[in-house]
Structure 1
């Protein structure tokens, strides 16, 4: 199966797509540091990115003539700053809004499916109309915006097309499924809420839903405060365990009284993710690439870091992780320090041998903008499975018609 990746960044989603069995025909990214990261790993022979057809530049300037229509998958995460909780919230008024460019590529390539990822802020009430506008453009990519037409007027035309009955529309249409997910529910050691917009071309007749979560907070609480298995696994004695979280007390009591088996694995915590990674200031640290201590971490109101025994806070693009101290860990003694680049890569489920290029701030920006590889793989695998099923159905129908 063939794919194209837009806004690839350091390669998180694209690597997940590769792990799902897709072959990249184009990997497009404008940031030179992120491109250097991909190139360095490709040159080093890292298998997932080796031979990627990387193009460094604006997606709107890419020459698509060499990429055939009807590819299997288009994937990408348009820049999130226009919709980020920490951004200026300009949405359609922000020059970094790349959703129009994404729709243009969908219109041109007519992929069988697409996966688009963005921040939770995209779903906030103040963006409700523009969020609907994005979804309708992806559903009807050939109902293009006219010259001089405002996005609000274009939205009205799209709404009219929708309500008039999509089944009567003769052009390119997609069945679009938007889902807000927490990466921690899929085995990522990070509480990272993101929107995934997945679409299948309507003519395929695909029947798809977002993958079922594999991990849960309840299972973690049970492992920590009911069975104690979590602490035993990490060799932490009763005296060294933190206090039971007061805000979860009622939930722990219910889990203690319940005989219903938990059907999901425990959320993975910072301690789980980093258990074999030495302190960057101690012996053995040099055996891990990108594992250099960064001084200057401090606590102040609203900037408190990530506890070891929960999934980390959402890693943010940049060095300090403002405003919540997301890029710091809180150690057992209560002190804080910044996550190293390698530790941050672990929290984003990048392989240890994957090298990040650039200074600390640049590499942390790449990581903060990335899709966790494990989450990207889970979504891409489910899409690949559905595409394979639709192909089998089409072959079966062709045989049936021949026999008839």
Structure 2
């Protein structure tokens, strides 16, 4: 089976496809740094750096499976409303329609945040894919259920050229604890108590100590674990594009390292990422979790 990867980013979809034995023949993204990372890790794939809303789909190699992760930022809710100023980003989803119309692959898989299904134009987008002959099977999956040390809920829409939506059967994996990806012997540690540490952070750490002892993780913002910290016996919360998860070890603390975030996303330890931590985290936070993509593709092939 051959696939293409739209909005490929750091290569989570492509890596998951490779895990499932699928050859990714073409990948594209608008960010040159991400294209380079993808090329470093998937050297046999043809790479294109461009705005996919301007793509000439006739120049894309033939394929059986279309993979796509359009921009998700515009679908996040702010004060209960869609953020209209992100229209250009939300419109990237229409590139998937254009690609499918041109090549009519046997199947496609689209990944996005669950709020994608609340987009005002989501029914129109689904109708367009239906008009092309695809039956849609949307599902929200948590990466933790696929053997990854992170809770990360994402919408996966599987489209097949069939009369009815396909039914995918996926085995739920045992949850992997955050402790499995954290190395206390590495990283740049700083004292918990120093002049620039905020009162809210110290309060969060004290709450965590009362509940979990001297070693635990805590987010720098947000609700839930943001007030109490989180046990190392549980998966992490969602890895985001900016440093979020702090590791606390007694009187010292630090943020997750690039390697720990890579492991929490389910990428192989050998996966090459930018040397600059900020860039690496941005790419990881935007990526599709490879083991989830692997399981979806395997289930799709089994059911086809």
> TM over 0.5: same fold?
yes
Which among 127, 135, 138 is matched to residue 126 of structure 2?
Answer: 135
**Residues 183 and 193, structure 1, Cα contact 8 Å, conserved in 2:** yes
Change (3 A) 1:351 1:57: same
The number of aligned residues is 273
Q: State whether structure 2 residue 189 is matched by structure 1 residue 198.
A: no
Choose between structure 1 and 2: higher strand proportion.
2
Answer with 1 or 2: which has the greater Rg: 1
Q: State whether structure 2 residue 186 is matched by structure 1 residue 280.
A: yes
Q: Structure 2 CA distance, aligned partners of 1:91 and 1:21?
A: 39
Q: State whether structure 2 residue 139 is matched by structure 1 residue 179.
A: yes
Number of the residue aligned with 2:45: 52
Q: Structure 2 CA distance, aligned partners of 1:84 and 1:32?
A: 25
> 1:275-334, CA deviations, whole angstroms, 9 ceiling, x for partnerless residues?
xx35324xxxxxxxxxxx38698654772365422111111112x3xxxxxx21343538
**Residues 317 and 364, structure 1, Cα contact 8 Å, conserved in 2:** yes
Structure 2: gaps of 5 or more residues? 191-195, 205-219
Number of the residue aligned with 1:354: 271
Aligned to 2:74, the other structure's residue is in SS state coil
Number of the residue aligned with 2:113: 119
How far off is 1:206 after superposition?
7.2
Structure 1: gaps of 5 or more residues? 42-48, 141-171, 216-264, 282-292, 321-326, 388-404
How far off is 1:36 after superposition?
2.0
What's the TM-score once normalised by structure 1's chain length?
A: 0.62
Q: State whether structure 2 residue 21 is matched by structure 1 residue 63.
A: no
Q: Structure 2 CA distance, aligned partners of 1:270 and 1:86?
A: 29
1:18-97 map, 5 Å? 18-41=18-41, 49-67=42-60, 71-85=63-77, 89-90=82-83, 94-97=87-90
**Residues 189 and 253, structure 2, Cα contact 8 Å, conserved in 1:** no
Q: Structure 2 CA distance, aligned partners of 1:18 and 1:139?
A: 28
How far off is 1:38 after superposition?
1.9
How far off is 1:335 after superposition?
5.5
Q: Structure 2 CA distance, aligned partners of 1:297 and 1:213?
A: 43
Q: Structure 2 CA distance, aligned partners of 1:306 and 1:50?
A: 39
